[in-house]
């Protein structure tokens, strides 16, 4: 079995700190980006749901939360369509990102 020299151990520790710093920086950047996207979606004047492939809600704005009954009526189709709900028309649009 080979032994690790103090210099090698010190280098490993320094690299670990660097990786941890890079990870924390990336995590902060991701959180900032997520916050920005949430603010943009909230700013939009229409009800917006961003739905995962399995039908779970990834993101929604306050207008969408007010219309939770409308969400239950949506049919997840591949084509766009209009839906009437409480005397208003809504557009269903599927986008692939």
pLDDT in tens for each of the 97 residues of the chain? Answer: 678 899 999 999 999 999 999 999 999 999 999 999 999 999 999 888 888 888 788 899 999 999 888 888 888 777 888 889 899 888 888 777 6
pTM for this structure? 0.65
pLDDT of residue 94: 79
pLDDT computed for residue 16 by the predictor: 97
Looking at residue 71, what is its pLDDT? 83
pLDDT at 95: 77
Q: CB-based contacts of 38: which residues, under 8 Å, 6+ apart?
A: 59
CA 28 to chain centre: 14
Nearest alpha carbon to residue 48 among 70, 26, 28, 32: 70
What are 68's two structure tokens? 């939770």
* CA distance from start to end of the chain: 51
Q: DSSP code of 4? A: P
Residue 49: both structure tokens together? 């749901």
d(CA 8, CA 17): 14
């Amino acid at each position: 079995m080979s032994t690790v020299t103090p210099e090698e151990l010190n280098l490993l520790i320094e690299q670990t700190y660097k990786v941890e710093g890079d990870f924390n920086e990336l995590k902060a950047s991701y959180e900032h980006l997520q916050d920005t996207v949430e603010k943009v979606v909230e700013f939009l004047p229409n009800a917006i749901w961003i739905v995962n492939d399995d039908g779970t809600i990834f993101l929604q704005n306050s207008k969408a939360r007010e219309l939770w009954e409308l969400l239950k009526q949506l049919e997840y189709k591949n084509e766009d369509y209009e839906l009437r709900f409480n005397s208003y028309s809504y557009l269903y649009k599927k986008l692939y990102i």
